[in-house]
Structure 1
Amino acid sequence: MNTSSFPLVTEKDLQLPLYLTSIGHWESQERTRRPAGFPDFQWLQVLSGTGELRIGDRLFTVKPGQGFFLFPREQHLYNPVTEPWDVHWIAFNGSLITPLLRQVGISQSGVHQVFAPDNLIMQMKNLYATSISGHPFLGMECSKQLYAFLLDLTRSIWMSATSSSPDPMKLHPVTQYIEENCHRPVTIAELADRIGVSSQYLCHLFKITLNMRPMEYVNRERIHKSKEWMFREPTLKIQEIAARVGFDNPSYFSSVFRKLEGVSPERFKKSHGM
């Protein structure tokens, strides 16, 4: 069934970092030509059939399991090749979109393979239902669901970017091991052994997946644990906290804490009433 919704966008909604402008579904998407582009960002997810997308001199084929981003005010044309071309679409805007897309290297309109497209379509259906629900805080509710959808969408695109992309869940045994053992000295080789890879490949996995080195992650976990100790036992001295979370040198602990939190451990405790 063809559906479309154009929820009311108030002046207050326009101040949200993300807001929904339209959403819908075409069982048989027709030829669409926009010489002046479209005012908002769009994502179109293909359920079945095949289509073509033309953006300037670039021509793409769009198949099931794929979708395409359209950036605002960019001339484009898309049309079915194998009918029916079943397409779910969503249009949105806001200041948070560009940083979200930049995380997965998307800076222009184009076609992308996605991981678990059925999940994305289900989220779009849920968002459509919300958009016509008459919710008293419709803009905020749609913004909340749109944020979750875009996070899942960008993750799905990243996971499907190339066949050689590492599985982000491969690091789970390592991060779990760090959480359980960061109170004592740990080495990169020790962490690499948890998943049977070399130290060099572990560093590569961390860089690709989390954009940091393994020992950076260890220190972040230690600082996280130190804040838990501050709340759990407010009378502990800073040097005692440092020792409990795996820092031999209290000065180094304070330096890392300040770098990550922007304040010293002492100031952090005071600002939280400890």
Structure 2
Amino acid sequence: MTIPSFPIVTETDAQLPLYLTSIGHWEAQERTKRPVGFPDFQWLQALSGTGELTVGDQRYVVKPGQGFFLFPNEAHAYRALLEPWDVHWISFNGNLMPSLLKQAGIERSGVFTTTAPDSLITHMKSIYAMSLTGHPFMGMECSKLLYAFLLDLMRNVWTSSPSAADNYMKLHPVTQYIEAHYDRTITIDEMAQCIGISSQHLCHLFKITLKMRPMEYVNRERINKSKEWMFREPGMKMQEIAPLVGFETASYFSYVFKKVEGMSPEQFKRSHGR
């Protein structure tokens, strides 16, 4: 058993986008029942044994390699079905949580399969070690580590969905095609032909996977390449860069650049001292 850590959350810590409230490890997780829930978000990662999570009327079996996410103030209970049930757990809060959960597609408490559980455990051990240091800025340091953990958790949980992983892999030839041909006209039909689907289906895949339309992605690729030209050849004018990155006119290039970056190409150059 690892002695749980309950770091002091100062008023300053509570203003951080993310902050740690507790963390620990039970080699033999005991039965836990919380009729009024728990005040913070929690993630519990199972290493061995088998457990059962109950949230409302829903019952879930938790197997090794899986974890379960608990929302604050929601009645729940969990217990071992096959002992010893080895579980690492971490509790946290912060105003960044709603947007992170939305991006990860986690809408409710439940059990999730993770693609790289060892990576998550490594994060949790690092956070635990930091929480015990007495570092003068321990809350901030834990917040940084917690953010990395949650990003990794989001990737683990999100890509463990077969449809999400499949969509990313299916779009990979298209994004490679865009990178290779950004300097000329690219049509949606061309991109769709890369993977043998209709243009409508391609638009749907981009929307649900990357949250943008295909031509938005193309233009972002072009804008990124234009930035490379600005740094590589600071003396080049915008009307010279525009055709090199697939824009027919400098005016349209400037329009798209400002729409994507919130500033004109000239302002971008000046802001970077070019």
Same fold, TM exceeding 0.5?
Answer: yes
Match of 1:263 in 2: 263
Match of 1:71 in 2: 71
Q: CA deviation at 1:257?
A: 1.1
Change (3 A) 1:92 1:251: same
Question: 3-state DSSP class of the match of 1:52?
Answer: strand
What is the aligned-residue identity percentage?
67
The answer on whether the counterparts of 1:53 and 1:61 sit within 8 Å (CA) in structure 2 is yes
Q: CA deviation at 1:248?
A: 0.7
The answer on whether the counterparts of 2:158 and 2:164 sit within 8 Å (CA) in structure 1 is no
- Give, in whole Å, the separation in 1 of the partners of 2:107 and 2:148: 20
Match of 1:43 in 2: 43
Match of 1:182 in 2: 182
Give the residue type in structure 2 aligned to 1:67. Answer: G
Moved more, 155-164 or 166-175: 166-175
Q: Does 1:198 align with 2:197?
A: yes
Alignment deviations for residues 50-108 of structure 1 (CA, whole Å, 9 cap, x no partner): 22222222222222222111111112111112211111100011111110110122222
- Give, in whole Å, the separation in 2 of the partners of 1:30 and 1:156: 26
Moved more, 116-125 or 36-45: 116-125
Give the residue type in structure 1 aligned to 2:42. Answer: Q
Alignment deviations for residues 13-54 of structure 1 (CA, whole Å, 9 cap, x no partner): 222111111111111111111222111110011112222222
- Give, in whole Å, the separation in 1 of the partners of 2:188 and 2:265: 27
Match of 1:228 in 2: 228
- Give, in whole Å, the separation in 2 of the partners of 1:163 and 1:235: 46
Q: CA deviation at 1:271?
A: 3.9
Q: Does 1:114 align with 2:139?
A: no
Moved more, 201-210 or 90-99: 201-210
Moved more, 43-52 or 6-15: 6-15
The answer on whether the counterparts of 2:23 and 2:89 sit within 8 Å (CA) in structure 1 is yes
Q: CA deviation at 1:115?
A: 1.4
Moved more, 87-96 or 48-57: 48-57
Moved more, 240-249 or 198-207: 198-207
Q: CA deviation at 1:165?
A: 4.4
Q: CA deviation at 1:211?
A: 1.5
- Give, in whole Å, the separation in 1 of the partners of 2:124 and 2:237: 51
Instruction: Give ranges in structure 2 of 5+ residues lacking alignment.
Output: none
- Give, in whole Å, the separation in 1 of the partners of 2:145 and 2:250: 43
- Give, in whole Å, the separation in 2 of the partners of 1:235 and 1:85: 64
Change (3 A) 1:162 1:169: closer
Question: 3-state DSSP class of the match of 1:46?
Answer: strand
State the number of aligned residues. Answer: 273
Instruction: Give ranges in structure 1 of 5+ residues lacking alignment.
Output: none
Match of 1:59 in 2: 59
Give the residue type in structure 2 aligned to 1:260. Answer: V
Give the residue type in structure 2 aligned to 1:236. Answer: M
